[in-house]
């Protein structure tokens, strides 16, 4: 298997991490089966945490202004879909939530923590970030080691690790896969294990970029069940409007680095003119 911890930092689209030495942000949860949540998982999960983004502006090092004043408040446990055309700024926004990007103006708050260089380690323990390609998050010889990596890196007591891994795998329907080799599993299974790598850190917020991309109908259905079952606050960027309609009560439409609309998903999906203006389609 390639790489060690440093591989997990390599993703991030080549953006400038606030702290390139802290790799915990790449580890996150993954989806799979139906019958996913056992009561123990719900009982022991960290409390969901609110997210508040205020007046957020961001410019890439080449001078490109990718975000022009984002205001967004997400309540604990709320599930929000972020939609919009390519280049709208969805990923740029999401990468602020765990300090991979640093605002030029404005602020991002995760619970009581304002995201900054000083807080970034604590923020990354609270915010689980899942990337579109699970292979950006899986680099160990076994599923167990991949799911254990985040908590071990955070200094979680060794005695707790087995329980953490077991709960995270149960939450994504992957119990029994501990000794399997991640890179020999199906995309749907790898995606679920990648989500487990985030869940094992006990995050209060989950952030996913295009989680359903590339999945076959069964893999997609299993992912939907996982997302529905997780109690964390969730912000998910996606082009999959059926996923949006089925899972997310609230939808934010982004375009050109701004929020173009924010409201109940049913209302957004009913507004043909709005969808058309931003290159979106009804599911």
Could you tell me how many residues of this chain bind ligand ADP (CB under 6 A)? 15
Residue 89 within binding range of ligand ADP, rule CB under 6 A: yes
**3-state class of 247 per DSSP?**
helix
Indicate whether 15 belongs to the interface with ligand ADP (CB under 6 A): yes
> For residues 44 and 281, which CB has a smaller minimum distance to ligand ADP in the complex?
281
For ligand ADP, the binding residues in 65-84 under the rule CB under 6 A are: 66, 84
Under the criterion CB under 6 A, does residue 57 sit at the interface with ligand ADP? no
- Does position 43 interact with ligand ADP (CB under 6 A)? The reply is no
Q: Can residue 229 be called a binding residue for ligand ADP (CB under 6 A)?
A: no
Contacts of 134 (CB under 8 A, 6+ apart): 30, 182, 187, 190, 191, 193, 194
Stretch that binds ligand ADP, among 41-49, 85-93, 177-185, 197-205 (CB under 6 A): 85-93
How many CB atoms are located within 10 Å of the residue 61 CB? Answer: 7
Residue with Cβ nearer ligand ADP (60 or 258): 60
Looking at beta carbons only, is 263 or 279 nearer to ligand ADP?
Answer: 279
**177 or 248: whose CB is closer to ligand ADP?**
248
In whole angstroms, what is the distance from residue 205 CA to residue 268 CA?
24
Is position 239 an interface residue for ligand ADP (rule: CB under 6 A)?
no
DSSP codes, 260-281: EEEEEHHHHHT-HHHHHHTT--
Residues 3, 142 contacting (CB under 8 angstroms): no
Beta carbon nearer to ligand ADP, 101 or 192: 101
Q: Is 2 in the site for ligand ADP (CB under 6 A)?
A: no
The bridge status of strand 258-264 relative to strand 250-255 is antiparallel
Interface with ligand ADP by CB under 6 A: which range of 10-18, 39-47, 123-131, 218-226? 10-18
Give residues 90-149 in contact with ligand ADP (rule: CB under 6 A). 90-92
Choose between 8 and 92: whose C-beta lies nearer to ligand ADP. Answer: 92
Residue with tokens 């089966």: 33
Q: C-alpha distances in angstroms, 203 versus 24, 124, 222, 257, 261?
A: 11, 8, 21, 27, 28
Which residue's entry shows tokens 């964390």? 232
Q: Tell me how far apart the alpha carbons of residues 100 and 221 are, in angstroms, rounded to a whole number.
A: 30
Residue ranges in contact with ligand ADP by CB under 6 A: 13-15, 60, 62, 64, 66, 84, 86-92
């Amino acid at each position: 298997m390639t790489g060690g911890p440093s591989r997990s930092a390599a993703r991030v689209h080549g953006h400038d991490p606030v702290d390139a030495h802290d790799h915990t942000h790449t580890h996150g949860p993954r989806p799979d089966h139906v019958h996913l949540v056992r009561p123990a998982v719900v009982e022991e999960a960290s409390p969901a945490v609110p997210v508040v983004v205020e007046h957020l502006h961001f410019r890439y090092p080449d001078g490109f202004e990718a975000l022009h004043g984002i205001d967004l408040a997400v309540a604990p446990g709320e599930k929000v879909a972020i939609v919009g055309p390519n280049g709208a700024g969805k990923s740029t926004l999401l990468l602020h939530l765990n300090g991979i990007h640093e605002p030029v103006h404005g602020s991002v708050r995760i619970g009581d923590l304002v995201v900054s260089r000083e807080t970034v380690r604590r923020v990354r323990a609270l915010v689980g970030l899942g990337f579109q390609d699970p292979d950006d998050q899986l680099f160990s010889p076994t599923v167990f080691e991949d799911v254990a990596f985040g908590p071990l890196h955070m200094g979680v007591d060794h005695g707790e690790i087995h329980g953490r891994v077991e709960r995270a795998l149960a939450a994504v329907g992957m119990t029994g896969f501990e000794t399997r080799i991640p890179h020999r599993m199906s995309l749907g299974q790898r995606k679920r294990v990648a989500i487990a790598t985030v869940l094992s850190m006990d995050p209060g917020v989950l952030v996913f970029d295009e989680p359903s991309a590339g999945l076959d109908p069964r893999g997609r259905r299993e992912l939907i069940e996982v997302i529905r079952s997780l109690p964390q606050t969730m912000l998910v960027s996606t082009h999959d409007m059926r996923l949006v309609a089925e899972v997310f009560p609230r939808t934010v439409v982004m375009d050109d680095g701004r929020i173009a609309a924010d409201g109940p998903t049913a209302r957004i999906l009913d507004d043909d003119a709005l969808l058309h203006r931003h290159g979106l389609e009804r599911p």
